[in-house]
Amino acid sequence: MTIHLELREDIAWATLDHGLDIETCTRLVLALEEADAAGARALVLTGTGDTFSPGIDATRLAEGGARYVEEFLPALSDALLAVFGFPHPVVAAVNGHATGSGLVLAAACDHRVAADGAGRMGVPQLLAGAPFPLAALEILRCAYGTGPLPALAYSGAGLTVEDALARGLVDEVVPAGELPARAGEMAVRLAGVPAEAFAHTKAQLRQPYHERIAENRVADDAQVQRLWSAESTLAAVKSSVDVS
């Protein structure tokens, strides 16, 4: 299973143990639905080992080619939007590397706690010719503002945890051993806000971004799919897999 869901009292913990492929994206949507149905008042999203999320599963993308891209991109946007639109508080416990769509997952949360260490954060895929789908870009815009986005997206740089904190990509940094406790503490604190009032305010804050996505997603997704499916892009992805 690519996502493990556990309910600890009334806080759900969703743990990613795989890069984002079609199955993982689909499972993430279902996990959020399960957490909501189980009565979770908040959710903590985290990863395993030294990685919160590496973003897309580049091996699957390289092997699947254009046909895989056509199915994967809508699943990716749906998964990111499921986190972004979850009505209850979501805390990202960023236990390590958070790159590409993995950073977008963290951005989709309401609070981001990162573990001090060697983890890197950034969005390098533009360097391979693969722009974000609109849903991902709007989530980043909501979390970080329009101003910082060009430098973040165009450079493709992998930032240290300290740099990520300085740039506002995470809200706080704690020693690695304290990460679960701190993330759980923040989830409980946010869950203490009356649920209906929290959900309404969260929806108000994110409404402009949801509206832009709804109005422009179809046309933009077609353009993104074309660029991701280009031979040069797929070759760059394959090269990155071969090197790693």
Q: How far is CA 34 from the centre of its chain?
A: 19
What's the rounded Cα separation, in Å, for the pair 54 and 47?
10
With cut-offs at 50, 70 and 90, classify the pLDDT of residue 127. Answer: confident
pTM of this structure: 0.95
Strands 11-16, 3-8: pairing kind: antiparallel
- Residue 242 pLDDT more than 80? no
Alpha-carbon distances of 35 from 30, 43, 95, 113, 227, rounded to whole Å: 9, 8, 21, 21, 35
Mean pLDDT, the chain, rounded, equals 94
What's the rounded Cα separation, in Å, for the pair 2 and 69?
20
- Listed residue (236, 224, 239) closest to 70, CA to CA: 224
| pLDDT tens readout for residues 77-91 | 999 999 999 999 999
What's the rounded Cα separation, in Å, for the pair 64 and 142?
32
The residue extents of the domains of the chain are 3-179
pLDDT on residue 238 = 80
Taking phi first (over 0 means left), then psi (-120 to 50 degrees means alpha), and beta for anything else, what does residue 9 get? left
Q: Which fold has domain 3-179?
A: 2-enoyl-CoA Hydratase; Chain A, domain 1 (3.90.226)
- Residue 74 pLDDT more than 90? yes
Which tokens is 23 given?
Answer: 């199955």
With cut-offs at 50, 70 and 90, classify the pLDDT of residue 237. Answer: confident
Taking residues 32-60, what's their average pLDDT?
96
- Residue 243 pLDDT more than 50? no
| pLDDT tens readout for residues 136-189 | 999 999 999 999 999 999 988 899 999 999 999 999 999 999 999 999 999 999
pLDDT on residue 156 = 87
Burial class (CB in 10 A: 0-12, 13-18, 19+), 19: buried
